[in-house]
Amino acid sequence: MFLVVEKTAALSLSVKLFILSAEPPLSIDFMHQNKRRYTGVLVRGLFEVLLDHPEGLPIKAALQRCLRQVSNSDSTRVGEQLLRGCVAPIKAGWLLTDGNGFSISQEGKLAYQRYSDPDDFLLRAGKHSLRGWISIHFPEPYFFLGKLRDQFASEYRVAKRIGIKNLLEKAIGTPDSWQEVLPIQAARRISIPGLELASLDSFLADLKQSNLAYGAGGHAVYLPPETIQKTAFRELSKYYPCNAGLKIVRHQGGISDSVYVYKGEGESRLHLKLIHNLRHLTLVANLLYVNGVGPRLHDLVELQCNNHLWTAFMVEHVEKPVTSMDVCQNGINSIRELEQRNLVKIILPYGYEDGEFQCPDCSGNAFMTADGEFRYIDFQNFALTGYGEFLKSVALEAAEASHFGDKSILRGGRYLYQSVPGVPLPGKRNPETRMQILGELMKNAGVSVENRLVLDIGCNVGMMMAQYLKLGALWCHGWDQETVVPHTEKLLYALGCTRFSTTGGVITQSIDLKSELASHLKPHLNGCVVSYLAVRGHINWLDALKEIPWAFMIYEGHEGETAEQSLHYLEEFNKTVPFRIAAQGEYADGDSEPRTVAILIKD
C-alpha cells in the first residue's frame, strides 16, 4: 500500500526542482489549502480513534472507524485521501505502521494535543522530512510518481513469485490440453423465484436491516446457510447440501461474461491477469480441498434473478475463524508444500508476507472445521502451475487402484482402462466415444440426463459420471469397491467435477441404494437416471431397481455377448420391472469388443 508505507529512495533531484519551482495561481492555491485542511481533519480523526486503542489497530479496522459517517459511494475516495495524509505523520514518527496496522507514538500524542488546528497539524508534520513536506505541499505529483514506483515494484514481486518460465508460458505458450477441456462439468443455471437482484449493494442493505449475516469482500459477497434459508436463495437448498454457503461474484453476468475481479481493482496488473477465469478457479478450489487446506466446492452456478444473471460458487460453509497460531501455521505450511510440489503459486505481490497469509486469521481467510482442521477460503489467490503432471499422476493412481490399466508394448507403455480428458495417455476404453453413441440413443429415445439425478452402479473411476455432468446432470452418485471410490473422487475433483458423491463397498443384489444418498438427493429420485454399464454380469439385476422411481436406464452389455443374449437378459429384467426399449444399438469404443447398448424407459 504505497500511500502508507514508503521504503524506497527519495525522489530524484530533477523532480524535486520541478516541484519546488512550481508557482500555482492564487485560486488553485486556495483550493489546495481547503483540501489540505480537510485532509488534516481526517488524519486527526484517525489519531482520535487510535488514542482510544493504545495497542494499535489493523489498518482496515482503523479506517472503518474513521469513515463511519461517509457514504459507501465516497468511502474509497475519502479513504485514499486519508491514507495520503498519513505520509507526513509517518515520516515525522508520530504515526507508526508495520504495513498491517497503525499505532501512535508518544511524540504523536504530544503533537495531537499541541497542534489542534488540522492545517497546522499537517504542516508541522511535513517539516520533519522532505518527503513529508512534498506530500503536503504537492500531493498530486508526489503520489502520481509514487504510484508508478509502487506499480513497478508490485509487478516485479509477482513476476518473481510466479517465475519467468511460468509467465512466458502463459504469455506466449500454447495452452496445455487440460486447459482446453477442463473443467469437464457443465454449469447449471438455476432460477431464483421472486428475486429481482439488480444490485448486490442494495441487497446487502436489506440483509443488514433484517439483521441477517453476510460477508462482503471486494470481489464477492458471501451468504451463510442460515441466511440462504431466510431469503429467496432458499431455492438452492433443493440441490445442494444443507451446509453449503453462497459466494456471489460482484461482477454481474453469466460464467462466460463475468470475471472474479470486480472493476479491475488491484495493485498489480500482472497479478490481476494471473487470476484464473471462473471455470478454472473450480480446479484451484478442488485442488486445495483434496489436499486438506480448502473447503469443498459444491458447484459453480449461474443464478437467474428475474431479469438479472449472476454467477456464484456454492461452497462448504466453515464457520469458525482460526484463532490458534499453531493451526494457522500448520495450514500455511501445507500450502507451502503445494508450492514445493509445483502444483500452485500464490500470486499476490507480497506472497506469504501479504496480510491474507498472516496468521492467525489471514485477514479473515482462515477458518477451522468442527474437527479443528485448517481451511483457506479465498482460492482466487492461487494460480495452477504443474497441473498437467498432477492430473496424469492422479489418473495413473486411479488406474492402479481400480486394477484397470496395464502396460502394453502396442500402446507405448502405461495405459488406462478409460482414457481421461486432458491426460495424454491411451486408454482401452474412451468415455467420450461411448457418450457420443449413448447421446444419440438418448436423443432418439427423447430423453436426457440434463437436470436429473444419475445413479451410476459400478462407476469405476468415474469417467462416465464426468460425461453425465458434462451433459448437465443435476448430480451423480456412484457405487463401487471401497478401495476404488477414493480414487474416483480424487480424479473427478481433478477434472473440475463437483456435483457428485460416492459409496464404497461390496455391491450386493439386495443393496439399499436409497439409504446411501444424501438428504438433498432423495427428493430427486423420482425421475432419476440409472447408469448400468457392463455390470449386470457381476451383480445381476439389483432388487432396488424395482423400488426406485427411475425414469430411464442407460444399459450396456458385456464383451462377448451377442445381441440375442443381451436381449434375453433384458427380457428377464422386464419380468420384474416393466420397461420398453426406446433405443438400441452397438458400439466398440477404444479397442474393446462390441457391446450392446440400450435406453430403457420405465413404464
Write down the domain spans for the chain.
13-152, 183-384, 428-602
Q: What is the mean pLDDT of the chain?
A: 86
For 406-424, how does the pLDDT look when each residue is reduced to its tens digit (9 = 90+)? 443 333 444 566 778 888 7
Q: Do residues 322 and 360 make contact, with C-beta atoms less than 8 angstroms apart?
A: yes
- pLDDT band at 64, cuts 50/70/90? confident
CA within 13 Å, CB half, 35: 17
* Whether residue 424 has a cis bond before it, omega within 30° of 0: no
Q: Is the pLDDT at 81 greater than 90, yes or no?
A: no
For 548-568, how does the pLDDT look when each residue is reduced to its tens digit (9 = 90+)? 999 999 999 998 898 899 999
C-alpha dist (Å) from residue 592 to 402, 418, 429, 463, 569 = 18, 11, 6, 16, 21
- pLDDT band at 228, cuts 50/70/90? very high
For 492-507, how does the pLDDT look when each residue is reduced to its tens digit (9 = 90+)? 999 999 999 999 999 9
Average pLDDT over residues 397-410: 57
> Which residues make Cβ contacts (< 8 Å) with residue 528, sequence separation at least 6?
452, 453, 454, 455, 548, 549, 550, 551
- pLDDT band at 19, cuts 50/70/90? very low
Question: What is the pLDDT, as a whole number, of residue 222?
Answer: 96
| The length of the chain, given as a count of residues | 603
- Identify which of 54-63, 152-161, 389-398, 488-497 has the greatest average pLDDT: 488-497
pTM of this prediction exceeds 0.85: no
Taking the C-alpha atoms of residue 377 and residue 127, their distance in angstroms, rounded to an integer, is 45
Question: What is the pLDDT, as a whole number, of residue 13?
Answer: 33
Question: What is the pLDDT, as a whole number, of residue 151?
Answer: 58
The phi, psi pair for 273, rounded to 5°, reads: -70, -25
Taking the C-alpha atoms of residue 148 and residue 428, their distance in angstroms, rounded to an integer, is 57
Q: What is the CA radius of gyration of the chain?
A: 30
Average pLDDT over residues 475-484: 95
Question: What is the pLDDT, as a whole number, of residue 162?
Answer: 65
CA within 13 Å, CB half, 351: 15
Taking the C-alpha atoms of residue 390 and residue 490, their distance in angstroms, rounded to an integer, is 11
Average pLDDT over residues 29-49: 81
- Identify which of 215-219, 353-357, 437-441 has the greatest average pLDDT: 437-441
Q: Do residues 184 and 431 make contact, with C-beta atoms less than 8 angstroms apart?
A: no
- What is the DSSP secondary structure assignment for residue 473, as one 8-state letter? B
CATH number, span 428-602: 3.40.50.150
C-alpha dist (Å) from residue 385 to 284, 392, 408, 438, 574 = 10, 14, 30, 35, 52
Question: What is the pLDDT, as a whole number, of residue 174?
Answer: 56
Average pLDDT over residues 293-322: 96
Instruction: Sheet containing 366-368: give its strands across.
Output: 320-321, 366-368, 374-376
Taking the C-alpha atoms of residue 266 and residue 270, their distance in angstroms, rounded to an integer, is 10
Taking the C-alpha atoms of residue 120 and residue 41, their distance in angstroms, rounded to an integer, is 11
> What is the DSSP track for 361-419?
TGGGTEEE-TT--EEE--GGGEEE-SHHHHHHHHHHHHHHHTT-EEEETTTTEEEEEE-
Task: Tell which residue, 456, 420, 468, has the closest CA to residue 534.
Answer: 456
